[in-house]
Structure 1
Amino acid sequence: MTCHYVEAGIGKPLVLLHGFTGSSAAWDAIVPHFTQHFRVICLDLPGHGRTPAPSDPARGALPLVAGDIAALLHNLEATPAYLLGYSMGARLALGIALLHPHVVRSLILESGSPGLATEAERAARRAQDEALATRIEQYGIEAFVDEWERLPLWASQRQAPEDMRQRLRAQRLRNTPAELAASLRSMGTGAQPSFWDDLPRLSVPTLAITGALDEKFTAIARDMCARCPMMTHWIIEGAGHATHLERPAEFVQRVIDFIAAHG
């Protein structure tokens, strides 16, 4: 499977992996700041943007998608790359770094996790994701986006500028129910393997970025750092889950500074 991608800029490659309901366009507001320094490659992950979900759900599993992206970066002569992932994209980026470390120069995880630690937790989450996937298919994209935007995870964005929130909503609405449902079933948090026990062997410099208002993922990042000598943690004050949207200037500067220090 090949992911659709767009690229701009010159220099060492910086690969951006978006979150659930996003696409390569999710990074549009900050890409111009990165192209001054890097060859920026933004991917559409399976079930999003212009990359369809595989017809076989098993083929969309995170370890297989990680291998597909590693192969794509080889074909693009974009290895080793600086790899930056947000939320779902951060889980995938971590998987790429663990399973294909030769393609990664350094790793930035924005609001990411290594998955769920126990099979019981994963089974419960798979049931939740299946229920959500079914609702998306039954009620359509607009009803789903309305439900999604009411989640407490996005509470900090309700004070964001109206134009930013409208652009984000329009991007979410460009997804299709069948593709989002397939993404949940194949690469949701419950479907992926746990990487908690693999963190000590992470071999590339890694930065975890979280928003101070996102207490859940800030706690996860602290736990990850306690297990992984290669990882450091930066907390952005006044931001929630999507720090790159809520505090873009600080987010961009922190990424650039980290890459410069570990390039």
Structure 2
Amino acid sequence: MAPVLHTEVRGQGGPRLVLVHGFTQTGHCWSPIDEDLARDHEVVVVDAPGHGGSSQVRAGVAGAAQLLGRAGGRATYLGYSMGGRIALFLAVERPELVERLVLIGASPGIERADERAARRDADERLAARLETIGLAAFLDEWLSQPFFAGLDERAAHRRERLRNTVEGLAASLRLAGVGTQPSLWHRLPELSMPVLLVAGSRDQKFRSQAERAGDLIGERASVAIIEGAGHAAHLERPDAFVALVRDWLVRTPVRH
């Protein structure tokens, strides 16, 4: 039997939104954003391969994108970091499923082969570290990175992240890390759906990548910077993020 991603549905009607979380998270880490959007949307919250209810699923980014498309169907996709890379891969490979695309702190990949190889080596070391020290200690180290300095205790969702497993997260690093996926930079002009690229003002790396990606996508792209936020901009300032996304959804009709 083919693997299936764990999903939960919020809301009873309205346009479908599919939410895909980042590394070490689960679908529940979209709270409180998912509850707000579910007031007038059908929100499908997905656990990515190796995470949460999908902890036994093993897939690289391409395979994860295929599973995501089966789980979400035709919809607007919102992806954060790792989840954004998966959603972007789906948009490139199966554009008929992606009505609109929202990417938060998500990279189209690493262009140079030597840099991809270096990142694969770094992710292998990170996976080995996780297997050595265990999940709780690894999460302490992971969340202590400057990337996440703006997350308070609630926004960090540490208790929810502890629902993951060492085996699932290590597999995710080895199979779906950014060093394992092909660069999608050269394919961004192919995107035919509206795209919203979001980054925090303090996340200079991904802010620069969002601006460059917007230039490559062209008139179908909108770039939005959330002031005072870092990498997890949607969790640091959820009210600002929801207001931004709601405004964009209203102004950006679904293509037919």
TM-score (structure 2 length as normaliser): 0.94
Aligned partners of 2:5 and 2:54 also within 8 Å = yes
Aligned equivalents of 2:154, 2:81: Cα separation in 1: 22
Q: 1:6 matched to which residue of 2?
A: 8
Cα deviation, 1:156-213, whole Å, max 9, x if unaligned, reads 22xx3x4444xx1112222111110000011111111110000111110000011001
Q: Does structure 1 conserve the Cα–Cα contact (< 8 Å) formed by 2:47 and 2:54?
A: yes
Q: Does 1:108 align with 2:106?
A: no
1:31 paired with 2:21, answer: no
Does structure 2 conserve the Cα–Cα contact (< 8 Å) formed by 1:153 and 1:240?
A: yes
Q: What whole-Å deviation, never above 9, does each CA across 1:7-39 have from its counterpart, x for those lacking one?
A: 021111000000000111011211121011210
CA contact (8 A) 1:53 1:183 kept: no
Aligned counterpart, 2:201: 212
Q: Which 5+ residue runs of structure 1 have no aligned equivalent?
A: none
Which ranges in structure 2 are unaligned for 5 or more consecutive residues? none
Q: Which amino acid aligns with 1:15?
A: V
* 1:121 and 2:115 are equivalent in the alignment: yes
Alignment of 1:222-261 (within 5 A): 222-229=211-218, 230-261=220-251
Superposition deviation, residue 143 in structure 1? 1.5
Question: How many pairs align?
Answer: 249
Query: Are residues 192 and 40 of structure 1, via their aligned partners in 2, closer, same or farther at CA, if it must alter by over 3 Å?
Result: same
Give the conservation status (yes or no) of the 8 Å contact 2:19–2:46.
Answer: yes
Q: What does 1:169-184 align with in structure 2 at a 5 Å threshold?
A: 169-184=158-173
The percent identity for this pair of structures is 42
Q: Secondary structure at the match of 2:196?
A: strand
Q: Name the counterpart of 1:131.
A: 125
Three-state SS of the structure 2 residue aligned to 1:156 is coil
Letter in 1 for 2:190: R
Structure 2 Cα separation of the partners of residues 104 and 195 of structure 1:
16
Structure 1 contact 86–109 (Cα < 8 Å) conserved: yes
1:164–1:196 CA distance, 2 compared to 1 (3 A): closer
Give, in whole Å, the separation in 1 of the partners of 2:164 and 2:72: 25
Shift of the alpha carbon at 1:155?
Answer: 1.9
The offset of 1:52, in angstroms, is 2.6
1:20 pairs with 15, 20, 23, which one?
A: 23
Partner Cα separation in structure 2 for residue 42 and residue 124 of structure 1? 32
Quick one: distance in 1 between partners of 2:19 and 2:173? 20
Q: Secondary structure at the match of 1:138?
A: helix
What amino acid is the match of 2:223? H
Amino acid at match of 1:243: A
User: Is 1:43 the equivalent of 2:46?
Assistant: yes
2 CA distance for matches of 1:101 and 1:14? Answer: 15
CA RMSD for the aligned pairs?
A: 1.2
Call closer, same or farther: CA 1:29–1:43 in 2, change over 3 Å. Answer: same
TM-aligned CA deviation for residue 61 of structure 1: 1.3
State the TM-score, normalized to the length of structure 1. 0.91
Partners of 2:67 and 2:161 in 1: CA distance: 24
State the distance in 1 between where 2:205 and 2:160 align. Answer: 25
